[in-house]
Amino acid sequence: MQLSRIKCKVSYDGGNYGGFQLQDNVMSIQQRIEEALQGIVKVPTRIYASGRTDAGVHARGQVFHFDTSLRIPEERWPLALNAQLPDDIVILEATHVPSQFHARFDAIEKTYRYCLWNRRLPDVFTRKYAWHIPYSLDIGLMREATRSLIGEQDFTSFCAARAVVKNKIRHVYEIEIHEESPGQIWLTFRGNGFLYNMVRIMVGTLIQVGSGKVAVERVQEILEAKDRRLAGMTAPPEGLFLWNVKYEHS
Protein backbone atom coordinates (compact mmCIF):
# COMPACT_ATOMS: atom_id res chain seq x y z
CA MET A 1 0.00 0.00 0.00
CA GLN A 2 1.28 3.46 -0.88
CA LEU A 3 2.61 5.53 2.00
CA SER A 4 1.88 9.20 2.54
CA ARG A 5 4.37 11.51 4.25
CA ILE A 6 2.91 13.82 6.88
CA LYS A 7 4.71 16.90 8.24
CA CYS A 8 3.65 18.07 11.69
CA LYS A 9 4.35 21.14 13.79
CA VAL A 10 4.38 20.47 17.52
CA SER A 11 4.56 22.57 20.67
CA TYR A 12 5.67 21.09 23.99
CA ASP A 13 6.69 21.81 27.54
CA GLY A 14 9.95 19.92 27.94
CA GLY A 15 10.03 20.08 31.72
CA ASN A 16 8.81 16.53 32.30
CA TYR A 17 10.95 14.86 29.64
CA GLY A 18 14.51 13.72 29.12
CA GLY A 19 14.64 15.52 25.79
CA PHE A 20 13.05 15.01 22.38
CA GLN A 21 14.97 11.94 21.22
CA LEU A 22 14.19 8.37 22.25
CA GLN A 23 16.25 7.27 25.26
CA ASP A 24 16.52 4.26 27.53
CA ASN A 25 14.91 4.50 30.97
CA VAL A 26 13.59 8.04 30.55
CA MET A 27 10.46 9.37 28.87
CA SER A 28 11.01 11.50 25.76
CA ILE A 29 8.82 13.68 23.55
CA GLN A 30 9.46 11.33 20.63
CA GLN A 31 8.30 8.31 22.61
CA ARG A 32 5.06 10.03 23.59
CA ILE A 33 4.31 11.03 19.99
CA GLU A 34 5.16 7.60 18.58
CA GLU A 35 2.93 5.96 21.19
CA ALA A 36 0.11 8.32 20.18
CA LEU A 37 0.67 7.49 16.51
CA GLN A 38 0.60 3.78 17.17
CA GLY A 39 -2.70 4.23 18.97
CA ILE A 40 -4.12 5.63 15.72
CA VAL A 41 -2.41 3.67 12.94
CA LYS A 42 -2.08 0.43 14.97
CA VAL A 43 1.50 -0.24 13.86
CA PRO A 44 4.83 1.10 15.22
CA THR A 45 5.63 4.34 13.37
CA ARG A 46 8.91 6.24 13.57
CA ILE A 47 8.97 10.04 13.49
CA TYR A 48 11.87 12.18 12.26
CA ALA A 49 12.33 15.64 13.75
CA SER A 50 14.12 18.79 12.60
CA GLY A 51 16.54 18.30 15.49
CA ARG A 52 16.83 17.28 19.11
CA THR A 53 16.03 19.39 22.12
CA ASP A 54 17.67 18.59 25.45
CA ALA A 55 16.00 17.66 28.71
CA GLY A 56 13.93 20.56 30.00
CA VAL A 57 14.00 22.54 26.72
CA HIS A 58 10.66 23.60 25.26
CA ALA A 59 9.34 24.09 21.73
CA ARG A 60 6.81 26.39 20.13
CA GLY A 61 7.46 25.15 16.61
CA GLN A 62 9.31 21.83 16.43
CA VAL A 63 8.72 19.97 13.16
CA PHE A 64 8.68 16.23 12.46
CA HIS A 65 7.49 13.91 9.71
CA PHE A 66 6.29 10.34 9.47
CA ASP A 67 5.02 7.93 6.82
CA THR A 68 1.67 6.17 6.98
CA SER A 69 -0.71 4.20 4.79
CA LEU A 70 -3.68 5.47 6.79
CA ARG A 71 -5.87 7.89 4.85
CA ILE A 72 -6.85 10.73 7.17
CA PRO A 73 -7.51 14.31 5.98
CA GLU A 74 -4.54 16.42 7.05
CA GLU A 75 -6.69 18.78 9.11
CA ARG A 76 -7.80 15.84 11.28
CA TRP A 77 -4.33 14.60 12.22
CA PRO A 78 -3.82 17.23 14.97
CA LEU A 79 -7.18 16.36 16.53
CA ALA A 80 -6.51 12.63 16.38
CA LEU A 81 -3.00 12.89 17.81
CA ASN A 82 -3.87 15.42 20.52
CA ALA A 83 -6.61 13.09 21.75
CA GLN A 84 -3.86 10.53 22.44
CA LEU A 85 -1.22 12.92 23.82
CA PRO A 86 -0.73 14.39 27.31
CA ASP A 87 -1.58 18.06 27.68
CA ASP A 88 2.06 19.18 27.65
CA ILE A 89 2.44 18.13 23.99
CA VAL A 90 0.19 19.68 21.33
CA ILE A 91 0.21 19.05 17.58
CA LEU A 92 -0.46 22.45 16.00
CA GLU A 93 -0.78 21.52 12.33
CA ALA A 94 -0.25 18.69 9.86
CA THR A 95 0.23 18.77 6.10
CA HIS A 96 0.87 16.24 3.35
CA VAL A 97 4.34 16.69 1.85
CA PRO A 98 6.27 15.05 -1.01
CA SER A 99 7.91 11.73 -0.18
CA GLN A 100 11.38 13.27 -0.51
CA PHE A 101 10.74 15.87 2.21
CA HIS A 102 12.83 15.44 5.36
CA ALA A 103 12.19 17.44 8.52
CA ARG A 104 15.86 17.53 9.47
CA PHE A 105 17.77 17.72 6.21
CA ASP A 106 15.42 20.16 4.46
CA ALA A 107 15.43 22.73 7.27
CA ILE A 108 17.11 25.95 6.10
CA GLU A 109 16.70 28.13 9.17
CA LYS A 110 15.94 27.77 12.88
CA THR A 111 14.90 30.30 15.47
CA TYR A 112 15.50 29.80 19.18
CA ARG A 113 14.34 32.13 21.92
CA TYR A 114 15.63 32.32 25.48
CA CYS A 115 13.71 33.94 28.34
CA LEU A 116 15.30 35.70 31.32
CA TRP A 117 13.51 36.87 34.46
CA ASN A 118 15.62 39.85 35.53
CA ARG A 119 14.26 40.89 38.90
CA ARG A 120 15.67 40.64 42.43
CA LEU A 121 12.99 38.14 43.44
CA PRO A 122 11.93 35.10 41.42
CA ASP A 123 8.51 34.91 39.80
CA VAL A 124 6.31 31.92 40.62
CA PHE A 125 4.68 31.91 37.19
CA THR A 126 7.83 32.10 35.03
CA ARG A 127 10.14 29.85 37.03
CA LYS A 128 9.60 26.86 34.72
CA TYR A 129 10.11 28.91 31.55
CA ALA A 130 12.84 31.45 32.35
CA TRP A 131 16.26 31.79 33.95
CA HIS A 132 16.08 33.99 37.03
CA ILE A 133 18.88 36.60 37.05
CA PRO A 134 18.61 38.56 40.35
CA TYR A 135 21.20 41.23 39.52
CA SER A 136 21.00 44.10 37.04
CA LEU A 137 21.97 43.59 33.40
CA ASP A 138 23.15 46.17 30.88
CA ILE A 139 21.13 45.19 27.81
CA GLY A 140 22.99 47.75 25.71
CA LEU A 141 26.32 46.01 26.36
CA MET A 142 24.74 42.64 25.63
CA ARG A 143 23.43 43.89 22.30
CA GLU A 144 26.84 45.28 21.44
CA ALA A 145 28.47 41.92 22.21
CA THR A 146 26.11 40.05 19.87
CA ARG A 147 27.78 41.73 16.89
CA SER A 148 30.75 39.37 17.28
CA LEU A 149 28.42 36.38 17.08
CA ILE A 150 26.70 37.34 13.81
CA GLY A 151 27.84 35.75 10.56
CA GLU A 152 29.31 32.47 9.34
CA GLN A 153 31.97 31.47 11.85
CA ASP A 154 33.56 28.62 13.77
CA PHE A 155 31.60 28.36 17.02
CA THR A 156 33.81 25.79 18.77
CA SER A 157 34.00 28.02 21.86
CA PHE A 158 30.21 27.98 22.06
CA CYS A 159 29.71 24.24 21.63
CA ALA A 160 29.60 21.62 24.38
CA ALA A 161 33.04 20.04 24.70
CA ARG A 162 31.61 16.52 24.40
CA ALA A 163 29.88 17.22 21.08
CA VAL A 164 31.00 14.77 18.39
CA VAL A 165 30.20 16.89 15.31
CA LYS A 166 33.41 17.84 13.50
CA ASN A 167 32.22 20.85 11.52
CA LYS A 168 31.67 23.66 14.02
CA ILE A 169 30.95 26.34 11.40
CA ARG A 170 27.45 27.80 11.58
CA HIS A 171 25.83 30.94 10.19
CA VAL A 172 24.01 33.11 12.72
CA TYR A 173 21.81 35.57 10.84
CA GLU A 174 20.44 37.64 13.68
CA ILE A 175 20.42 38.02 17.46
CA GLU A 176 17.86 40.29 19.09
CA ILE A 177 17.52 41.22 22.75
CA HIS A 178 14.47 43.03 24.05
CA GLU A 179 12.58 43.53 27.30
CA GLU A 180 9.08 42.34 26.50
CA SER A 181 7.69 43.42 29.87
CA PRO A 182 9.32 44.74 33.06
CA GLY A 183 11.83 42.11 34.12
CA GLN A 184 11.15 39.72 31.23
CA ILE A 185 13.98 39.75 28.68
CA TRP A 186 13.89 37.68 25.50
CA LEU A 187 16.97 36.78 23.44
CA THR A 188 16.17 35.60 19.91
CA PHE A 189 18.71 33.68 17.82
CA ARG A 190 18.14 33.00 14.11
CA GLY A 191 20.55 30.94 12.00
CA ASN A 192 21.00 28.08 9.57
CA GLY A 193 21.60 25.70 12.47
CA PHE A 194 23.07 25.54 15.95
CA LEU A 195 25.62 23.30 17.66
CA TYR A 196 24.98 21.29 20.81
CA ASN A 197 24.29 23.76 23.66
CA MET A 198 25.37 26.64 21.40
CA VAL A 199 22.46 28.95 22.18
CA ARG A 200 22.65 28.27 25.91
CA ILE A 201 26.40 28.94 26.00
CA MET A 202 25.95 32.18 24.05
CA VAL A 203 23.28 33.22 26.56
CA GLY A 204 25.58 32.38 29.48
CA THR A 205 28.35 34.47 27.92
CA LEU A 206 26.06 37.43 27.17
CA ILE A 207 24.91 37.38 30.80
CA GLN A 208 28.55 37.78 31.84
CA VAL A 209 28.81 40.79 29.54
CA GLY A 210 25.58 42.29 30.82
CA SER A 211 26.68 41.92 34.43
CA GLY A 212 30.05 43.56 33.73
CA LYS A 213 32.15 40.44 34.36
CA VAL A 214 33.30 40.19 30.75
CA ALA A 215 34.15 43.08 28.42
CA VAL A 216 32.29 43.38 25.12
CA GLU A 217 35.46 42.99 23.05
CA ARG A 218 36.31 39.80 24.94
CA VAL A 219 33.50 37.95 23.14
CA GLN A 220 35.36 38.24 19.82
CA GLU A 221 38.51 36.90 21.48
CA ILE A 222 36.60 33.96 22.95
CA LEU A 223 35.15 33.14 19.53
CA GLU A 224 38.55 33.24 17.83
CA ALA A 225 40.20 31.10 20.53
CA LYS A 226 38.00 28.07 19.68
CA ASP A 227 38.14 26.99 23.33
CA ARG A 228 34.94 26.10 25.19
CA ARG A 229 36.60 26.79 28.56
CA LEU A 230 36.76 30.51 27.80
CA ALA A 231 33.05 31.06 27.19
CA GLY A 232 30.38 31.49 29.84
CA MET A 233 28.36 28.84 31.59
CA THR A 234 25.70 26.83 29.80
CA ALA A 235 22.43 28.59 30.64
CA PRO A 236 19.81 26.31 32.23
CA PRO A 237 17.42 24.54 29.86
CA GLU A 238 14.10 25.84 31.13
CA GLY A 239 14.48 29.26 29.50
CA LEU A 240 15.10 27.88 26.00
CA PHE A 241 12.46 27.44 23.30
CA LEU A 242 12.81 26.07 19.77
CA TRP A 243 10.58 28.75 18.28
CA ASN A 244 10.44 28.08 14.56
CA VAL A 245 11.88 25.90 11.81
CA LYS A 246 11.86 27.26 8.28
CA TYR A 247 11.79 25.31 5.02
CA GLU A 248 12.27 26.39 1.42
CA HIS A 249 8.59 26.17 0.56
CA SER A 250 7.00 26.67 3.98
pLDDT in tens, 52-67: 999 999 999 999 999 9
pLDDT of residue 95: 97
Per residue in 170-214, pLDDT (tens digit) is 999 999 999 999 999 999 999 999 999 999 999 999 999 999 999
- Tell me if 4-97 shares its fold with 108-247: yes
pLDDT of residue 250: 59
Q: Which fold has domain 4-97?
A: Alpha-Beta Plaits (3.30.70)
Find the Cα–Cα–Cα–Cα dihedral 24, 27, 31, 37, rounded to 10°.
Answer: 150
Query: Of residues 13, 24, 54, 138, which has the active-site annotation?
Result: 54
What is the rounded distance in angstroms from the CA atom of residue 115 to the CA atom of residue 188?
Answer: 9
How far, in Å, are 97, 98, 146 from residue 175 at the CA level?
Answer: 31, 33, 7
Say whether 54 is catalytic: yes
To the question of whether residue 112 is assigned a binding role by annotation, the answer is yes
* Banded model confidence at residue 1, pLDDT cuts 50, 70, 90: confident
Q: DSSP code of 24?
A: T
What is the rounded distance in angstroms from the CA atom of residue 107 to the CA atom of residue 120?
Answer: 39
The correct answer on CATH 3.40.50.300 for the domain covering 108-247 is: no
* Every domain of the chain and the residues it spans: 4-97, 108-247
Contacts (Cβ under 8 Å, ≥6 apart) of 120: 134
What is the rounded distance in angstroms from the CA atom of residue 172 to the CA atom of residue 110?
Answer: 10
Q: What percent of the chain has pLDDT over 70?
A: 100
Q: Give the mean pLDDT of 43-55.
A: 96
What is the rounded distance in angstroms from the CA atom of residue 197 to the CA atom of residue 19?
Answer: 13
* Banded model confidence at residue 87, pLDDT cuts 50, 70, 90: very high
Per residue in 133-180, pLDDT (tens digit) is 999 999 999 999 999 999 999 999 999 988 778 899 999 999 999 999
